[in-house]
Amino acid sequence: MCGIIGYTGKKMNAKDIVLAGLKNLEYRGYDSSGIAVNENGKINLYKSHGKISNLEDRLKGKEILSSTAIAHTRWATHGKPNETNAHPHRCGKVTLVHNGIIENYMELKKELLEKGVTFQSETDTEVACAYINDIYESEKDKIKCLSKACSAFRGSYAFAIIFDDEKDVIYATRKDSPLIVGLSDDGNFAASDVSAILDFTAKYILLEYGEFAKITKDKVTIYNADLKEIEKEVKVATWSATEYKKNGYDHFMLKEINEQPDVIANIFSRYLNDCNYNDIDFLKYDAIHIVACGSAMHAGMVGKYLFQNYANIPVTVDIASEYRYSTQMITPSTLVIIISQSGETADSLAALRLAHSKGATTLGIVNAVGSTIARESDICIYTYAGPEIAVATTKGYTSQVAILSTLVINAMKQKGLLSDELFENIKQDFSNISSNLNHIISKKEDYINVAQKIFDHNDLFFIGRGIDSAVCMEGSLKLKEISYMHSESYAAGELKHGTISLIEKGTPVIAIATNNDLYEKTISNIKETKARGAFAIFITTDNFKNSTFEDFSDISITLPKTTEFVQAIEVSVLLQLIAYETAKLRNCDIDKPKNLAKSVTVE
Ligand code: M6R
């Protein structure tokens, strides 16, 4: 995680330029931040604990004239989030910012300590900096020096580096952490992703593993792993700077929740009008493995339910950090679906590479265009949800579910399992999705009402069966990550096998029942919790509407009944809004919850 940006150019306000860019990278971590500038030939560092606004406050009123700066926003891995551990780090003639983890830093540190090098921080990054400086003492060619140093580093890195003795030049390189080089008439950039440079330019080069960039104000030179100069394609970003603004909403999360009617409707209409995923032959595969982390894994759970129940295809869903080290049966007849909003999640990427190495076909469901998972997957289906800034995913997740729904429909078609009647119903749901979601979003008072009843509790439980059980997992994570309430999600029939011991008078239980066949069974499970004092919130669909809800629930909310291909999306939006209103009542930092970062590019 962590965000990095560097600028060198014609303008003397490099500090302001990198700070503006850094703010767009804050979703990558916000434990501390820092900047290094070259002021009259002297490298000065400024750092602050906490969010970038603290660094801005610290720099307010300081006149810093510099045409080159590198900056960093940190999600702490090695060492506490304090100023000493904040980047940039500096040793001898080398100053750098880093995203990633140098796994063998203890080994390298020992070597350097024996040579008399001293360290201020607890970080792996300072060791990397000192190691580069050590090599630089004997290898004055900077690209060769960096190449030698990087060949000793195990783990992941994206570096932006400045040397004391070469003013107005930034060097950059990467392995398993993203890095782009931005190009503009006024100067050039190195950055974790394009969002950091969009206020200045849309043109960029993707740096690949093993490549090095030498960046000056009017020239960018890229070297391959053999240190030969190479030409690279200049890309133009498709997302615009305004998509990174709140546009009047109180929070990015609320803005992104409100974008879902359009995002999901676009996915469905793209599918119906011009995309049949003809290059995916579901008859070819013995098994589907869905692999992802966090909410993307929860989307996979919905996908598993749909694939198994409607397309008769056995599916496993694995957490990427486990899958990458497991002895899975991955064969050339396996379809491995990797789901990732950012397309950069380290564990998901490693799982993708493992699947490739075993000859499986890989299918990426990705939002960030041009990201590593998108590029390395055999087949990539973009969700095209637009930039997601709030750390807690909303449209990222529902768009993944929407893509999975369409894949399942395609698999059913190929296997002759899709009846005309069901397809007509699905198409009807697809055309109603935007108005249904807008209707759900408009019911703000209902969610405030639920939030008022639950916000001052310590524990909460979500229960559901079938597809609702998968949806509960995401509802629970959403509430937990932004409101800091302890919440657990259980298959409704499983609660009584132990966890029901935690239900006491007033404990909120959110129960979801949308499936005709399982409806009554879920109600029995709610009654079990009610009998033990639970405060039951019942979420169901309007086809079950009758007067008996109050017999077993304290609050009930009904949604329009649809096929299961869209129902999960609708319930999820409602749960996002309950989480949002609850977090608001608890005065939480909704867009930047504590301890989290959006893009998890370390193991
Ligand atoms: O970018 P990815 O979809 O690969 O990210 C996966 C998870 O890190 C992510 O979904 C995480 O769980 C979010 N905090 C959920 O809101």
Angle at 71 between CA 151 and CA 99, to 5 degrees: 35
Q: How far from 268 is each of 35, 261, 309, 340, 417, CA to CA, in Å?
A: 44, 11, 20, 19, 20
What pLDDT is attached to residue 598? Answer: 80
Residue 119 is predicted with a pLDDT of: 97
Residue nearest ligand 1's atom 8 by CA? 294
Q: What is the pLDDT of residue 27?
A: 85
DSSP 368-431: STT-HHHHHSSEEEE-------SSS-SHHHHHHHHHHHHHHHHHHHHTT---HHHHHHHHHHHH
Question: How far is residue 178's CA from residue 172's CA, in Å, rounded to a whole number?
Answer: 11
Query: What separation in angstroms does the CA of 544 have from each of 76, 244, 447, 560?
Result: 49, 41, 20, 10
The pLDDT assigned to 278 comes to: 62
pLDDT at 80: 85
Q: What does the pLDDT read at residue 430? A: 96
pLDDT reported for residue 602: 75
Task: Retrieve residue 467's tokens.
Answer: 């597809």
Q: Where are the beta strands (DSSP E) in 50-93?
A: 68-74, 89-91
Q: Which residue has tokens 């296997």?
A: 415
User: Is the distance from CB of 441 to CB of 573 less than 8 angstroms?
Assistant: yes
Q: Which of 298, 301, 345, 398 to mutate to test the pocket of ligand 1 (most atoms within 8 A of CB)?
A: 345
Q: Summarize pLDDT for 274-325 with one digit per residue, the tens.
A: 766 667 899 999 999 999 999 999 999 999 999 999 999 999 999 999 999 9
For residue 598, give the DSSP letter: S
Tell me whether residue 442 is exposed, middle or buried, using C-beta atoms within 10 angstroms of its C-beta: 0 to 12, 13 to 18, 19 or more: exposed
Query: Quick one: pLDDT at residue 297?
Result: 98
Residue 295 CB less than 6 A away from ligand 1: yes
Ligand 1 binding pocket includes 367 (Cβ within 6 Å): no
Judge whether 338 and 435 are in contact, CB under 8 Å.
no
Nearest CA to ligand 1 atom 13: 392
pTM for the model:
0.87
Pocket test for ligand 1, best of 600, 601, 602 (most atoms within 8 A of CB): 600
Q: Is 345 in the pocket of ligand 1 (CB under 6 A)?
A: yes
**Phi and psi, residue 330, nearest 5°:** -105, 120
SS3 325: coil
Per-residue b or e along 240-268, where b marks 16 or more CB atoms closer than 10 Å to that residue's CB: eeebbeeeeeebbbbbbbbbbbbbbbbbb
pLDDT of residue 600: 81
Query: Are 211 and 222 spatial neighbours (Cβ–Cβ below 8 Å)?
Result: yes
Stretches where the chain sits below pLDDT 70 are 275-278, 545-547
Report the distance separating Cα 153 and Cα 156, nearest Å.
Answer: 8
Please report which residue ranges of 153-250 form alpha helices under DSSP H: none
Q: Whose CA is nearest to atom 12 of ligand 1?
A: 294
